[in-house]
Amino acid sequence: MPTPLPPTTASRRELPPSRVAVTVAAPPAAASPLPPRRPLLKRLEGWWRRAVLRGLSRMLEARVVPPPDWNARVYRVLLVRYGRIGDMIMSTALIRAIAQSHRTIELDVLASPENAAVLVGNPFVHHVIPFERHRWQSFPLLAVRLRRAHYDAVIDVMVLDASLTTALLMVSTGAPYRIGVAGRNNEFLYTVPVTSAGADAHHVDQMATTGKPFGVHLTNTDWRLELHLAPDEIARGEAVWCEHEAGGVGRVRVLVNISAFLARRRWPDDRTVELLRRLRSVHDDLVILVIGAPADADRVVGVARAAGAAAVHTPRVRDAFAVVAAADLVVTPDTGISHAAAAVRTPALVLLPGDADGRRFTPYGNTGGELFSDSETLASLAVEPVAAACEALLSAAASRHAAARRPRPSC
């Protein structure tokens, strides 16, 4: 059994209050029923993956070694973070911390087509290597590319579950320093294992432990997330808002995202409509835009029309990032948009299920607030607490506008 590096507690740092933060108290989570049995095919797939991992463990028992002297020469490092958009945004602080830990580190990132756009313009990433996980026919060519890159170290930040795909990718690099969190089925791979931050730790804190071999100080490091928007992207985001504003003085911009990857994390559309109608009945200074994933275009139009808001088409994820950056408040379920808001310092009211996953994936450094349901879905979350939380955040936004007393320069 590999011996991991000694633990260092990573703590969730509070952001400087650039905007007024509101914390919405979470009700206690209801007892969860027993999960339904997985379909037979899924159970067989899980058994097969575990069997392959056990076979690899017998062939590739890693010899634990100390990290190298990173200052001795240039080291090529690969960070593996394919997956969803929010996953990559939550990895940006770790990417920055590792890249800045030593001038000799050249950091590449293995990304999925879905989340590679997060890293556009990121000065800490040397190369982004695309990986289409569901196209296994592309794996041999990717494996050859990874081996020819002559990586010195590879980092597994897929910290939630042992992944056969990640294991194969790490082995294919041929890197002598394989870094990952110990205590899982694939820890046999790691020549530099690190201690887990704990099952209940925030996902950013869990990933942060993989920075320890690079000398990253987990408690003193700035773990704020980041996105790098180009000036033309920022201008396009401002233009979207200006198109729907009648003058730029005193208008509070509210962006509502209705999409989420998982159905259980979506708030019912009729409640979104009721919420926006309530806000409009109280505030005559709101500009409300509704966005969603391209697949939800019809829902976006329907919600916006019913609520008297404007539907905005964001065909590319960076279009959505730019609109988020120019907003005063974002209302969204737990999805990549919530993490994007935290990364660009826009206050967000994030609606989350009340299970453990919801609490581990709150937007890190959100300057708005989070509201939890009392179940594993958002179906149990009523309009009243969401409206109350919006009112508190809108009051803070209105105060900022009153203090500014000037129109937005772009409008």
Residue-wise DSSP of 302-324? HHHHHHT-EE----SHHHHHHHH
Pick from 277, 278, 337, 288: which is nearest to 310 by CA?
288
| pTM attached to this predicted model | 0.85
CA atoms of 221 and 78, how far apart (whole Å): 21
- Inter-axis angle of helices 317-325 and 231-243, nearest 10: 70
| pLDDT, one tens digit for every residue, the chain (411 residues) | 444 544 333 333 344 344 444 444 444 444 444 444 556 655 555 566 666 666 665 565 668 899 999 999 999 999 999 999 999 999 999 999 999 999 999 999 999 999 999 999 999 999 999 998 778 778 899 999 999 999 999 999 988 777 788 888 998 999 999 999 988 777 788 999 999 998 889 999 999 999 999 999 999 999 999 999 999 999 999 999 999 986 555 589 999 999 998 899 999 999 999 999 999 999 988 999 999 999 999 999 999 999 999 999 999 999 999 999 999 999 999 889 999 999 999 999 999 998 767 778 899 999 999 999 999 999 999 999 999 999 999 988 777 666 554 455 556
Q: What are the backbone dihedrals phi and psi of residue 159, each rounded to the nearest 5 degrees, phi first? A: -85, -10
Mind listing the domains of the chain with CATH numbers? 49-214 (3.40.50.2000), 231-404 (3.40.50.2000)
Q: Specify the residue for token string 């008297």.
A: 308
CA atoms of 218 and 81, how far apart (whole Å): 20
